[in-house]
Chains A and B, each alone.
Chain A
Amino acid sequence: MKLGLLIDLDTCVGCHACAIACKEWNASSKVSGALSDYEPFGAEPSGVWFNRVRHYEVGDYPASKTINFPLSCMHCADADCVTVCPTGASYRRADGIVLVDQDKCMGCNLCAWACPYGSRELDEVSGTMKKCTLCVDRIYDELLAPEDRQPACVLACPTHARLFGDFDDPDSEVARVSAERGGFGLMPELGYAPVNRYLPPRQAPPVLGEDDARALLERGLASLASPVIRR
């Protein structure tokens, strides 16, 4: 089993709802412990987040595009954050979820150094490493309705840009959509075998250059004028 997220860069509008929902759910999680905030109402608020959304511009104007880029743990199949951990606090479950045992972590930061994606953040209050749990305390909770047994970020997304599922099962929605739309993992060259997949932005309508616009205008005027002239 390789549980993970499929994130659609075409439909993501960069609203940060996934990050907020993640913070809200996991702030009271027993798996990760609280996500501490430092000076939340002060001049320089900071704190622990499992999911951060950044914004990029790709290409040069006018052929450019904004890409909103949510990034959380990739739940790598070959995760160095697990192998470098000296205490055994970092581990990968049979279902593919990478977790940190909060009772064993000594806060040495080495796993955060080993993660190329910046998916792990040290909690200064507890002194332990925190990371995305893929909402392991939601997805198996049989007290929740079946449609609610998904990570909080997936449920919160207003554009349905996030899907959750088992990438090992070729018939799963995530595996199918990822195959159809060319889903890709981040920095595969590092050899971590990240499980999460990103869907590339779809083709955008061509941007008109100055000459294209003039040609269109002339064609439009001609088509308007021709019936008059003919008469």
Chain B
Amino acid sequence: MKPALSIIFFTVSAGAGLGLLALITLVGLVAPASLPPHALWRGALLGLALVAAGLAASVLHLANPRQAWRSFVRVRTSWLSREAVAAAALFVVGAGYVLLVAEGYRGALRVLLALATCILAWVVQVCTAMIYASLKPIRQWRTRWTPANYLLLGHWSGALLLCALAGAYAQPRAAAFLTLATILGFAALAAKLGYWQAIGGVAHAPTLERAIGVAEGVRGPGPVSVAHARLLDTGHSHGTFLTNEFGFRVAQRHARVLRGAALALGFGLPLAWLVTGDTRWQPALAAAACCIIGLLIERWLFFAEAKHTVRLYHGDPRT
């Protein structure tokens, strides 16, 4: 699949924002003493800003954005529609939460809004992931690892931002946030490695022979029984929408280098900082930025390594 920069930025930025929102509202509910109110609302606002930046980038992906308002209407079947509705609701609820905390309000409504913000942040993340995981023609996306990745990677990058907030505003208690981030970091790393392991096998990959219906040999008795097909001609002389959108190739050795970079920047360096136990906010922010750069590379690979079945018709032996 073509790695569209707008969608890569959207999923990484919104993922970090949603992870931060879910974690900070949970912290506000479960351990209200661990973060002062001004850290709570600023953190939630940062989360909402990251989601908003992501959504703004995602609109750039649309070829006809004038009709984007219609994307709220098909919640019954479309994960993209569900994502749009959940994100819109998240902004209303999240903004309410930020206002209440900033005003120092401490009633049942604040608890309710915190819960709703947290749950909606999870729902949006699951919807985003399911947009990809529900696509049957793309084997590399249609796996349970996809939602696991989106949820854990979002929470991991969000947790690093939370560490920076705690480092700045909740100094004596910031070490607990480092522990939380370390746990999420290893969980996210496991999910990413599991995903790469899962898409590596080609045993169940669809083949060109299956795509053109000659997998059991050309039907009927005849000399052509060995089912082995190859492309002679695509019928077009230059690129088409299909080759532009689905024909993207990343060389094996480049993919290996990029996976290494994603692992080092997205997980290795931030985890190494977490192990040192340094609770100052500056290195925490640097670790979060490093992680997000790593996740941008990771997300680029998520698209670049995904192979749509259309490629079979253009001559790929399997996807």
Q: Which residues of A contact B (CB under 8 A)?
A: 16, 19, 44-49, 52-60, 63-67, 69, 71, 80, 82-89, 103-110, 112-118, 121-122, 124, 126-128, 182, 184-187, 189-192, 198, 200-204, 206-207
Contact = CB atoms under 8 A, between A and B. Distances in A.
Nearest to B244: A46
Contact of B232 (A66, A107, A114): A66
B63 A112 contact: no
B219 A200 contact: yes
B238 to A, nearest CB: 4
Contact of A109 (B84, B234, B237, B245): B245
Size category, B interface: 35 or more
Interface stretch (B23-31, B134-142, B173-181): B134-142
B313 interface: yes
A77 B49 CA distance: 42
Interface of B: 1, 61-68, 70-74, 77-81, 84, 131, 134-138, 206, 208-214, 217-242, 245-246, 308-310, 313-314
A206 B225 CA distance: 12
B136 A191 contact: yes
Contact of A63 (B223, B229, B233): B223
Contacts of A128: 63-64
A63 B61 CA distance: 47
B233 to A, nearest CB: 4
Contacts of B62: 106-108, 127
B221 A203 contact: yes
A118 B235 CA distance: 14
A124 B63 contact: yes
A52 B226 CA distance: 26
B245 A112 contact: yes
Determine which residue in A116, A185, A190, A198 has the highest number of CB atoms from chain B within 10 A of its CB, and name it.
Answer: A116
A52 B235 contact: yes
A186 B246 contact: no
Contacts of B230: 56-57
B149 to A, nearest CB: 18
Contacts of B65: 106-107
B241 A52 contact: no
Nearest to A65: B224
Given A44-B238, A54-B235, A182-B219, A59 B137 contact: no
Contact of B73 (A52, A56, A88, A115): A88
Contacts of A85: 74, 78
B218 A55 contact: no
B242 A187 contact: no
Contact of B212 (A44, A80, A84, A186): A186
A88 B219 contact: no
A75 B14 CA distance: 36
Q: Which 5 A-B pairs have the closest CB atoms?
A: A107-B63, A127-B64, A200-B219, A127-B63, A118-B310
